[in-house]
Amino acid sequence: MQKRFITAFILLILVGVTSSCNKDDNKDNLVGTIWIGNFEDYKETIAFTSNTLCTLTEVNNNEDYRVTYQCSYTYNQPNITIKMESETLTQLAVFSP
């Protein structure tokens, strides 16, 4: 489950990076945006809650499994760096188009 989660997390971020780009005047602000990744048997969302924090949530299609991670991120356009920490895992991902 952990390996699948990490793979899905990276795919979700890549999809979000490419689909969230627009011609908005405030390109440096992700606050209030929610990125959604739908996969075969679960869905993941990333909600950017402040200029440095986001929430990653994974829910299976039966909605009987839900896990939420608090993550920190930096956004120096075009790069997004997300750091997820749990009791057993520290995941750092850097993305640029």
Ordered per-residue pLDDT tens for the chain, 97 residues: 555 656 666 655 655 545 555 454 555 689 999 989 898 899 999 999 999 999 989 998 888 889 998 999 888 888 888 888 766 656 666 655 4
What are the C-alpha distances in Å from 28 to residues 5, 39, 44, 78?
27, 28, 23, 9
Amino acid at 74: T
pTM of the model: 0.62
For residue 42, count other CB atoms closer than 10 A to its CB: 19
- Which pLDDT score, from 0 to 100, does residue 97 have? 46
- End-to-end CA distance of the chain: give it in Å, rounded: 28
Q: What is d(CA 57, CA 18) in angstroms, rounded to the nearest whole number? A: 20
